[in-house]
Amino acid sequence: MRLTVFGTGYLGAVHAACMADIGHEVVGVDVDEEKIASLAGCRPPFYEPGFQETLVRTLDSGRLRFTTSPAAAAQFGDVHFICVGTPQRTDSFGADLRGVDAVVDALAPHLRPGGLIVGKSTVPVGTACRIARRIRTLRPAADVDVAWNPEFLREGFAVQDTLRPHRLVVGTESSRADLTMRRLYAPILRAGVPFISTDPATAELVKMAANSFLAAKISFINAMAEVCDATGADVMTLAEALGCDPRIGRRFLSPGLGFGGGCLPKDIRALTARAEELGVDQAVSFLHHVDAINTRQRLRTVDLARQLVGGSFSGRHVAVLGAAFKPNSDDVRDSPALDVAARIQRDGAQVWVHDPVAIDNAKNAQPSLEFAADVSQACHGADLVLHLTEWQQYERIDPARLAPVVRTPTVLDARNTLDLELWRSAGWTTRALGRPEAAPHGPAESRPLRSPAPSVGGLSPAGEGPDTAELVAYARSARGL
Ligand code: UDX
């Protein structure tokens, strides 16, 4: 089939490449010329494991192309996916639908009879009906269907989630559109993926409800973490025990700094805003608490960090491990890690941030922070190491080798994924959200700066940047040490 995909961000670019990979001819469209040039040149504008390979394969096959011309795209295909962003509005909790509306207006004059518009963007319930009305106004004689097919892909697993989703949901009033979508997704459906046909409103709501449920689950365990902190209980054991009950399940029950990114925070807010418009705000008022509990984790982390450096950040050096909103992504939108780093810096600390892939985006978002090329550089002379994004490589840090790099061997694990027993046995003072305080194994006194700082196991591989001695010299001069 011949498809177009409007919007080539995380969702659209991956969707376009995956649709070409299952055999369709696809044109990706975006107003951003730079993005289109990078995709057409096989250079993904974002980090997403497995995407580059799919992009290379599908561009080489000739089934995937990119353009900035909506007219050319509209003339190419009959099924048009809308994959543009729907960020939070600046003046309210509602979703900003200007991107979606702009695509509809750009497409409308060029739509061919029998065409199908398929929304994948996350939108407030009622949007598909509004779009159908708009098309009827703009093109009264055109025989065009509208369907909503929400996307559930997770960043970091986008290719896998597109090709093997847990379910495909299609909401439309048209049986012709339903059939077209079944044909379009046939290669995926053959693998046993459930196809749920419904009305547009339910399809739109499934996505908002799924993300709200996931957010509520995370905030639930984080609320329990705070209760654990007040009682000496251990939230990790609590989560394990809760997760053994199949009615609850262990996934999305990882306590820590909470959720961020371009979806969960804005989707719960958009649902509350839409519920208010519909007069059912009381029904979802618990989502305000979900949001507040989530923000609270960031403040709790800052408070605990302040306590660990002696009550004031002034003159302290804090090393932050992680900038992305989650591992396997370079996305820093509403990143809890960057938010905490920026707050601590505002409160007087010198903050050095490391992230395996998100540094460029982090620099754009928070240019006043200091950024390190590796963990050693971030931690050199640190009074506190903060673990804020649970990249697997941070779990492989050798705390015994990191200890001589820092000034005070204290670590706060705000993601609960480090082996704190190992850190303690290497002489570190350790703290984590929702876990009882444990005494270090050896004396954990502050020590003077040593030079040069040794590299940290597995984290300063050759070829990743300047060598450790250079970095240490750079770090020392940059910080006036
Ligand atoms: C989410 C949904 O999972 C996906 O289905 C939807 O299509 C888009 O929104 P994503 O934003 O990529 O995906 O991230 P997700 O994996 O859901 O994680 C969201 C945030 O929650 C991250 O900041 C993550 O660190 C945090 N999280 C997740 C926790 O704090 N605890 C957990 O147990 C799980």
410-453 pLDDT tens trace = 999 999 999 999 999 999 999 999 999 886 675 444 443 333 33
Residue whose CA is at the smallest distance from ligand 1 atom 20:
259
263 is catalytic: yes
What is each CA distance from 447 to 136, 321, 390, in whole angstroms? 73, 21, 28
In terms of CATH architecture, what is 2-198? Answer: 3-Layer(aba) Sandwich (3.40)
417 Cβ below 6 A of ligand 1:
no
Residue whose CA is at the smallest distance from ligand 1 atom 21:
259
User: How far, in Å, is the centroid of ligand 1 from the Cα of 303?
Assistant: 24
| Atom nearest to 390 CA in ligand 1 | 25
| Chain segment 9-55, per-residue pLDDT in tens | 999 999 999 999 999 999 999 999 999 999 999 999 999 999 999 99
pLDDT computed for residue 465 by the predictor: 33
pLDDT computed for residue 455 by the predictor: 39
Q: 361 Cβ partners below 8 Å, 6+ apart?
A: 323, 324, 330, 331, 332
Contact 326, 262 (CB under 8 A): no
pLDDT computed for residue 440 by the predictor: 65
Going by C-alpha positions, the residue among 382, 440, 431 that lies closest to residue 234 is: 431
User: How far, in Å, is the centroid of ligand 1 from the Cα of 388?
Assistant: 15
What average pLDDT is seen over the chain?
A: 91
260 Cβ below 6 A of ligand 1:
yes
21 Cβ below 6 A of ligand 1:
no
Residue whose CA is at the smallest distance from ligand 1 atom 34:
252
Bridge partners (DSSP) of residue 171 are: 148, 198
220 Cβ below 6 A of ligand 1:
no
- Helix (H) / strand (E) containing 80: strand 79-82
Going by C-alpha positions, the residue among 147, 168, 123, 125 that lies closest to residue 22 is: 168
258 Cβ below 6 A of ligand 1:
yes
Total residues belonging to the chain: 481
What is each CA distance from 196 to 148, 209, 248, 355, 382, in whole angstroms? 12, 15, 24, 39, 53
Mutate to test the pocket of ligand 1, among 88, 217, 220, 264 (most ligand atoms within 8 A of CB): 264
254 Cβ below 6 A of ligand 1:
yes
The strand pair at 145-148 and 168-172 is best described as antiparallel
Tokens of 354: 């490391």
What CA–CA distance (Å, rounded) separates 363 from 370?
8
263 Cβ below 6 A of ligand 1:
yes
Residue whose CA is at the smallest distance from ligand 1 atom 17:
154
pLDDT computed for residue 423 by the predictor: 98
- Residue 113 preceded by cis peptide, ω within 30: no
What CA–CA distance (Å, rounded) separates 244 from 323?
31
Which residues in 431-458 are b (16+ Cβ under 10 Å) and which e? bbbbbeeeebeeebeeeeeeebbbbbee
User: How far, in Å, is the centroid of ligand 1 from the Cα of 255?
Assistant: 12
Q: 134 Cβ partners below 8 Å, 6+ apart?
A: 101, 104, 105, 108
What CA–CA distance (Å, rounded) separates 428 from 409?
5
| Atom nearest to 157 CA in ligand 1 | 12
Given 18, 83, 228, 263, the catalytic residue: 263
pLDDT computed for residue 459 by the predictor: 33
Which strands form 145-148's sheet, in the order they lie side by side? 64-67, 25-29, 2-6, 79-82, 116-119, 145-148, 168-172, 195-198
What is each CA distance from 205 to 122, 123, 128, 210, in whole angstroms? 9, 8, 11, 8
Bridge partners (DSSP) of residue 352 are: 319, 370
The residue ranges of the chain whose pLDDT is under 50 are 443-481
Domain ranges in the chain are 2-198
Contact 385, 321 (CB under 8 A): yes
pLDDT computed for residue 437 by the predictor: 85
Start-to-end CA distance of the chain, whole Å, equals 63
